[in-house]
Chain A
């Protein structure tokens, strides 16, 4: 049972903007712990997409951006492309659990 909640799915047409929310609590995101985002294609390992709430590793296009406010965070994808179809997970640290936590995951579908 994940302590970070994401919508099960989001969808959009090519070129549109979609956002994925990640809702936590005062012991994780609300405790000012950073939020990170991962993209996972079917049958492959996750790859970091955004780290420290709003930083992109080299090679990740600037169509991807992250934000954080209070006990929630969001991942935005602008200019949606077919290659963006994947599962996306947020991740943070939980002080009450003394460990890392992942979101429930969101499947992005490009219509």
Chain B
């Protein structure tokens, strides 16, 4: 059974940094692209970042380019999201999700973690 577990969320001040983790199990982690999707309180879903299986290719939403970095350690079955220069607009529940499909333009998110809350406030 596929299981994704996010951790690392919390409360921090504007301008701060945080690293989220997503521990995966139940599938061959390195064979699949993984993504982060966030949801601000009371708002809709927003794709944030995606990393290919080998970890060599990443792409990010414009809203986080230059501030967020997605990475993965396939030996640990874990994905990360390093978030820098955080603002109040980054306040959201951050979900990790497994990508499925082919080609990448047709990828969907077939499994999701339970999410971790990041709150940016002074």
Q: Which of A31, A51, A100, A102 contacts B110 (CB 8 A)?
A: A51
Report the Cα distance A44→B110, complex, angstroms. Answer: 15
Report the Cα distance A77→B110, complex, angstroms. Answer: 20
Q: Are B50 and A100 in contact (CB under 8 A)?
A: yes
Q: A18-26, A78-86, A90-98: which lies at the B interface?
A: A90-98
Q: Are A105 and B95 in contact (CB under 8 A)?
A: no
| Interface range on chain B (Cβ under 8 Å from partner) | 20 to 34
Q: Are A45 and B114 in contact (CB under 8 A)?
A: yes
B1, CB-defined interface residue at 8 Å: no
| Interface range on chain A (Cβ under 8 Å from partner) | 20 to 34
Report the Cα distance A98→B105, complex, angstroms. Answer: 9
| A52-B101, A52-B106, A57-B110 known; A98+B59 contact, CB < 8 A | yes
Q: Which of A33, A47, A57, A102 contacts B45 (CB 8 A)?
A: A102
Task: Give A residues with C-beta under 8 Å from B.
Answer: 2, 31, 33-34, 36, 38, 40, 44-48, 51-52, 57, 89, 91, 93, 95, 97-105
Given contacts A46-B112, A93-B105, 10 further A-B contacts (CB under 8 A): A38-B45, A40-B45, A51-B108, A51-B110, A91-B108, A97-B61, A100-B35, A102-B47, A104-B44, A105-B44
* 16 A-B interface contacts by CB (under 8 A): A34-B101, A34-B106, A36-B108, A45-B112, A45-B115, A51-B108, A91-B47, A91-B108, A93-B104, A93-B105, A93-B107, A95-B105, A99-B50, A99-B61, A101-B47, A102-B44
